Chain A
Amino acid sequence: MSEATASHEGITGLVDDWSADKQAYHVPWGKAMMWIFLVSDTFIFSCFLVGYLNVRMTTTEPWPPQSEIFALSFGGDPIPLILIAIMTFILITSSGTMALAVNYGYRKDKVRTFWLICATAAFGASFVGMQAFEWTKLIVDEGVRPWGNPFGAPQFGSVFFMVTGFHGLHVSAGVIYLLWVAFRVKRGYYDNKGFEIVEIAGLYWHFVDLVWVFIFAFFYLL
């Protein structure tokens, strides 16, 4: 941040930024665009979750017991929500590697940046893989379908496939996006342009992670 803008903090700084000529934020265009896109995307997920809460209220049948459905047993007794816990842990870990990648990106350490982004993408891909496993288990073993399931309210399956599917698409798109950025970093595409793109991709990745926390809380725990 330049000295001229750092001189004012808080409300005064905000007013200075917005009443300045040329630009309202001292950030690259892509970053501003990603912020605004993510707010828009927040509205999408909020609408999904509000819709879910609404049909959960209106449905006439009892809501299925999630902790039993999402339980896995490793030889012994079933452990509730164990798979989701692992998935959540992996996704949050991937946010950590992403943050490191951003840091190394700004230090122009291309090798570490490349590998850290790849690690993030690998965590993301394994998240999607586990989601595929979870879907398969629910569809094949438990007979859960979007239009009905043996446990109770049919909206359970509808919401589950819609919301986790939409989030899974976000993660998958994020993995592709990250790999694309990673290979461009490696090829030296950003040597002159600056490494803000790593942070921009990181913003998206953290957002997808944050959304998962809400889905986890609202759908699996509530």
Chain B
Amino acid sequence: MAYVPLADRDHEMEMHHPKTWIGKWVFCQDHKVIAIQYGSIAIFTGLVGLILSLLFRMQLGFPEAADFIDPSFYYQAVTMHGMIMVIYLLTALFLGGFGNYLIPLMCGARDMVFPFMNMLSVWVFLVSVIILMASFFVTGGPTGGGWTLYPPQTTLAGTPGHDMGIVLMLISLAVFIVATTMGGLNYVVTVLQYRCRGLTMMRLPLSVWGIFVATILALFAFPALLVAAIMMLFDILLGTSFFMPALIESGAPLDHNGGSPILFQHLFWFFGHPEVYIVALPAFGLVSDVLSVHARKNIFGYRMMVWAIIAIGGLSFIVWAHHMYVSGMHPYFGFFFATTTLIIAVPTALKVYNWVLTLWEGDIRLNAPMYFAIGFIFTFIHGGLTGLFLGNVVIDLPLSDTYFVVAHFHMVMGVSPVLVVFAAIYHWYPKMSGRMYHEGMAKLHFWCTFLGTYAIYLPMHYLGFVGVPRRYYALGTTDFLPPSAQDLNTTITIAALFVGASQLLFLINIIWSLRNGPKADPNPWGAASLEWQTPDTPPVHGNWGESLPTVYRWAYDYSVPGAHEDFIPQNTPESEEPTVDEQHFDPDTDESMADV
């Protein structure tokens, strides 16, 4: 039996529009509502992570003033900050938030392929966040073993949260993985199987490509974390010895022997390194679209950009042990992992060149999203270059576990993706809410965030060079650290407090504008991609009104010579407007339609 694509039998399908308030806003199966639910939960959790970071920065910058922070709480705050930001904020926001909102709209679909499962995904995600937050209120508090949760340290007495905190953390992660899998299967199948007529893979906006490949990475990387979490739960709750070698605690041997702590590190980083790209690839995609729209130019080297995303995604699975040089490995393995790590720099640099070349001679419109997108190029180059230092074994060894590492990964996967998050929220805000945000406030937010984060992380590189170790509660007195190290720490803390406070500009802006912003034009930026061509703004359930759109061109027909405007929507036929799309494919004359 021939399977007929849904795009060709759309008229037979029925949409079930919810009637009740709960059906519309709580247990809603509309991908746009789910996206906003995902995003709101993620941003709320992220605010908790932000406040935690300000607390431990207080301890580092002003130890006397922050004497309510004891070492245990310091470690708990650092741990929870890391885990929240990487998993519960960035992963959930990029995949669950932007993935849910943009994929069906950019693919010209009515919704995800399995809306019910999509709804389950967001509720399971909420459960995982609740379990995570519950660990603040149990005996011993949340785990303080560092976000990498390395055993045996995490599970031994002496580490805060070794009793209940770590158990709740692991359960929360397992539940989160279930949520991501349910959502992720939806995103991948929607991109593969539910595109509208004329929309080939090579006509998809780069946002979709980034989220699509990142979701595949998530589906293949999270299993390693799930297995690690299950094994560690067994070690804690059943007394097995997967990760626990023979240990002596307080003079008495523990009931463990023969386990391998290194096994945990391998499993963790087999997840952990692709996780970096689960966060970075959607950011790459979204920023490409923002840059292209606001520079009024097609993205430079679209095909290369797509292949770079795929290459980075593939390579990210064979570099994980560069996080473990200090754990010790055969020099040949070190050589292998250093080489693969440096090879990743090639497609990544290619992307950076293409972003810059997209700006080159563009008709740049300096709207707030463009500020953040250009800011991203700066912070990403910065963080990427320090990655080359750390990818080399001999340079990594002295720099490992210093603030240089902290500065590196915050620049590359903290600040950079967060700048893209802001760019993307401002960029798509008119479509999501139907209102415009306050432009001046958004630009002020950019300058505070951009300059502020540089004030935080640039000095950290110097701290790292002089050898300040990360994860220390207080510097104390040492022979090798100059007293000025503490002054620098104080400066960083002041900058961090400033950046933290300036995020209120963002929150106030988007919440205030929801009701009070001026009505937004359906396509305020003059963007060509499909999500701006919906009949309603914000799009209603079903997205496309009577019939699905048909796509005749790629998503980047900007400033095409001979066109009436400086952009041509993707659903404008080639007979009406010229194109610079290399792929000449007209769905109206497509032969494969003959058998339908």
Contacts and interface: CB of A to CB of B under 8 A. Distances in A.
Contacts, number: 163
Contacts of A48: 227
A54 B263 contact: yes
Given A55-B260, A147-B240, 5 more contacts: A22-B197, A30-B114, A54-B263, A154-B257, A155-B258
A28 interface: yes
Contact of A19 (B188, B201, B222, B231): B201
Interface of A: 1-5, 18-30, 32-33, 36-37, 39-41, 43-44, 46-48, 51, 54-55, 57-61, 106, 146-147, 153-155, 157-158, 162, 166, 194, 196
B5 A23 contact: yes
A36 B230 CA distance: 22
Nearest to A19: B200
A22 B263 contact: no
B547 interface: no
A111 to B, nearest CB: 20
Which label, helix, strand, loop or mixed, suits the secondary structure of the A interface?
A: helix
A22 B2 CA distance: 15
B241 interface: yes
A47 B234 contact: no
A30 to B, nearest CB: 8
Given A22-B199, A55-B263, A162 B258 contact: no
A55 B258 contact: yes
Interface of B: 1-3, 5-8, 113-114, 181, 185-186, 188-189, 192-202, 219-224, 226-228, 230-231, 234, 238-242, 245-246, 255, 257-260, 263, 266-267, 270, 551, 585, 587, 590-592, 594-596
Contacts of A158: 234, 238, 240-242
A23 B194 contact: yes
Nearest to A37: B185
Nearest to B5: A22
A155 B241 contact: yes
Contacts of B199: 21-22
A60 B257 contact: yes
B366 to A, nearest CB: 36
A29 B202 contact: no
B332 to A, nearest CB: 19
Given A44-B227, A47-B267, A154-B241, A22 B195 contact: yes
B201, B585, B596 pick with most chain A CB within 10 angstroms: B201
Contacts of A46: 223
Nearest to A57: B260
Contacts of B267: 47, 51
A51, A147, A162 pick with most chain B CB within 10 angstroms: A51
Contacts of A47: 223-224, 226-228, 267, 270
